[in-house]
Amino acid sequence: MRNKWFKKLLPLIVLIIGYCAMGAIKASGNNDEESEPIDTRPTVKIETAVAQDYQVKITSYGEVTPLESTLISAQVSGEVIDWHPNFVPGGLVLRDQILFSIEKDAYQAALLQAEADLSLAEANLIEEQARADVAKQEAKGSKVSDLYLRKPQLLSAQASVKSAKARLRIAKRDLDNCEITAPYDALVISRTLGSGQYINQGAQVGELYNIESAEISFPIAGFDREFLPPNITQQKAIVSTKGYSAITREGSVVRDLGIIDQQTRMGQLVIRIEDPYSLKSSLPPIKFGSYVEVSFAGKTLSQVYKLPQKLVNNRIIWVLDTEQQMQPQRVEVVREEGEYLLIREGLRNQDTVVMTLPEYPQKGMKVKIAGPDKDLAAENSL
Give tens-digit pLDDT for 120-161: 999 988 888 888 777 777 777 677 776 766 778 888 888 999
Domain boundary among 177, 202, 237: 177
Element (H, E) at 32: helix 2-34
Q: What are phi and psi of 60, to 5 degrees?
A: -155, -175
Decide: 169 and 183 in contact? Cβ < 8 Å. no
Q: How confident is the model at residue 211 (pLDDT cuts 50, 70, 90)?
A: very high
Radius of gyration of the chain (CA): 46
Q: Tell me whether residue 279 is in a domain.
A: yes
252/2 Cα distance (integer angstroms): 114
Domain shared by 198 and 87, yes or no:
yes
Domain shared by 116 and 149, yes or no:
yes
Domain shared by 75 and 205, yes or no:
yes
Domain boundary among 272, 299, 326: 299
Domain count, the chain: 5
- Mean pLDDT for 358-371 is 82
Q: Tell me whether residue 78 is in a domain.
A: yes
138 conformational bin, left if phi > 0, alpha if psi -120 to 50, beta if neither = alpha
Long-range contacts of 229-234 (CB under 8 A, 24+ apart): 229/297, 229/298, 229/299, 232/256, 232/269
Domain shared by 23 and 73, yes or no:
no
Domain shared by 93 and 200, yes or no:
yes
Q: Which domain holds residue 79?
A: 69-98+181-211
| pLDDT value, residue 3 | 56
Give the burial string for 256-286 (b: 16+ CB within 10 Å, else e). eeeeeeeeeebbbbbbbbebbbeeeeeeeeb
Q: What are phi and psi of 299, to 5 degrees?
A: -70, 160
Domain shared by 327 and 374, yes or no:
yes
What's 109's domain CATH number?
1.10.287
Domain shared by 128 and 197, yes or no:
no
Domain shared by 224 and 264, yes or no:
yes
Domain shared by 227 and 286, yes or no:
yes
| CB-based burial label for 325 (10 Å; 0-12, 13-18, 19+) | middle
Q: Tell me whether residue 36 is in a domain.
A: no
Domain shared by 308 and 293, yes or no:
no
- Percent of the chain residues past pLDDT 70, beyond the cut: 85
| CB-based burial label for 374 (10 Å; 0-12, 13-18, 19+) | middle
Give the burial string for 170-188 (b: 16+ CB within 10 Å, else e). ebeebbebbebbbebbbbb
Domain shared by 78 and 137, yes or no:
no
Q: Tell me whether residue 39 is in a domain.
A: no
What's 285's domain CATH number?
2.40.30.170
| pLDDT value, residue 127 | 86
What's 327's domain CATH number?
2.40.420.20
369/324 Cα distance (integer angstroms): 9
27/9 Cα distance (integer angstroms): 27
Domain shared by 225 and 295, yes or no:
yes
What's 85's domain CATH number?
2.40.50.100
Domain boundary among 251, 283, 299: 299
Q: Tell me whether residue 319 is in a domain.
A: yes
DSSP per-residue letters across 189-254: EEE---TT-EE-TT-EEEEEEE-SEEEEEEEE-HHHHTTS-S--TT-EEEEE--STT--EEEEEEE
Q: Tell me whether residue 114 is in a domain.
A: yes
Q: Tell me whether residue 228 is in a domain.
A: yes
User: Residue 337 above 70 pLDDT?
Assistant: yes
User: Residue 76 above 70 pLDDT?
Assistant: yes
| CA of residue 265 relative to chain centroid, distance | 20
User: Residue 378 above 50 pLDDT?
Assistant: no
